[in-house]
Amino acid sequence: MTAALILLTAFGASAAERVRIVLVGDSTVAPKNGWGPGFCALATADVDCVNLAKNGRSSSSYRAEGSWDRVMALLRKPDGVRATYVLIQFGHNDQPGKPGRSTDLATEFPANLRGYVRDVAAAGGKPMLVTSLTRRSFRNGVLENSLAAWAEATKKVAAEEKVPVLDLNGESFAAVQKMGPAEANLLAQAPPPDSIQRVAATGNSPPAPKTPAGVEPNGDPSPVFDYTHLGAKGSDFFGRMVARELTDAVPELRDYFRL
């Protein structure tokens, strides 16, 4: 075998082992303010980690505005990867009170998730659902899980469609509850004001500073303190959590992450 053929064979073997992981979701996944950057940072060079999550999107608006088309376009281009995994997390903006984005929990939300799963599978990809990252707001020392119902709906769809589900809501809730409000506040995009931390010492989370009007849904959340978005520390913490959950659910991916 010639040296050129040896190199060609080696390159072909390496390319065949590459995988692609596409992240789909809202601002709690997205670049700059979600767990996505921390997750992708743990992937090895054999992973194409593509973060297509967008701020302010729900399971409805993500498709309606055309963002889902980008995911499907990737699935139509193998680009030498042996498999494309699509991790899908929605819920925050599906909740009531978000005009143009809210969905009905009993009907629209599960139908939207089901549509994403089926689209990915039909295109030859590997769909995976992720339950919503917890918010970090406490009352009398107890973390409020305002996303529990959306997490349950996500798990139900995963069971019906027979696809893996990563219970980020459950694990992140347990971790943040264990931290308590003062420590959990350090996961935000900006340091908590002293006034916030004084109240946090009592086990409570006072209202966060208002985000400037017009920032979402079309822009990035401003780097201010809140109980939803993540700074570098929060992204690293929850990104590692998702990577561990993923490799537990799909053991064949363990060698693709530095954990």
Residue type, 254: R
In a domain, 225, yes or no: no
Q: What is residue 222's predicted lDDT score, i.e. its pLDDT?
A: 65
Q: What Cα–Cα distance (Å) separates residue 24 from each residue in 19, 226, 254?
A: 16, 22, 21
Per-residue pLDDT of the chain in tens (259 residues, 90 and over written 9): 444 333 333 333 344 499 999 999 999 999 999 999 999 999 999 999 999 999 999 999 999 999 999 999 999 998 899 999 999 999 999 999 999 999 999 999 999 999 999 999 999 999 999 999 999 999 999 999 999 999 999 999 999 999 999 999 999 999 999 999 999 999 999 999 999 999 999 999 999 987 654 445 555 666 789 999 999 999 999 999 999 999 999 999 999 999 9
Q: What is residue 9's predicted lDDT score, i.e. its pLDDT?
A: 36
Q: For position 116, which CATH number holds?
A: 3.40.50.1110
In a domain, 190, yes or no: no
Question: Under DSSP, is residue 53 helix (H, G, I), strand (E, B) or coil?
Answer: coil
Whether residue 49 contacts residue 40, with contact meaning beta carbons closer than 8 Å, is answered with yes
In a domain, 212, yes or no: no
Domain hosting residue 142, numbered range: 16-178+231-256
In a domain, 2, yes or no: no
- Structure token digits, residue 183: 């420590």
Question: Under DSSP, is residue 161 helix (H, G, I), strand (E, B) or coil?
Answer: helix
- Structurally, the chain folds into a number of domains equal to 1
Best CA proximity match to 29, nearest among 56, 6, 7, 2:
56
- Structure token digits, residue 171: 């694990």
Best CA proximity match to 18, nearest among 72, 78, 88, 74:
78
Question: Under DSSP, is residue 88 helix (H, G, I), strand (E, B) or coil?
Answer: strand
Q: What is residue 2's predicted lDDT score, i.e. its pLDDT?
A: 43
Q: What is residue 45's predicted lDDT score, i.e. its pLDDT?
A: 97
Q: What is residue 209's predicted lDDT score, i.e. its pLDDT?
A: 82
In a domain, 163, yes or no: yes
In a domain, 249, yes or no: yes
Q: What is residue 111's predicted lDDT score, i.e. its pLDDT?
A: 98
The distance in angstroms from the start CA to the end CA of the chain is 38
Q: What is residue 221's predicted lDDT score, i.e. its pLDDT?
A: 60
In a domain, 226, yes or no: no
Spatial neighbors of 170 by CB under 8 A, at least 6 apart, are 131, 151
In a domain, 10, yes or no: no
Whether residue 17 contacts residue 43, with contact meaning beta carbons closer than 8 Å, is answered with no
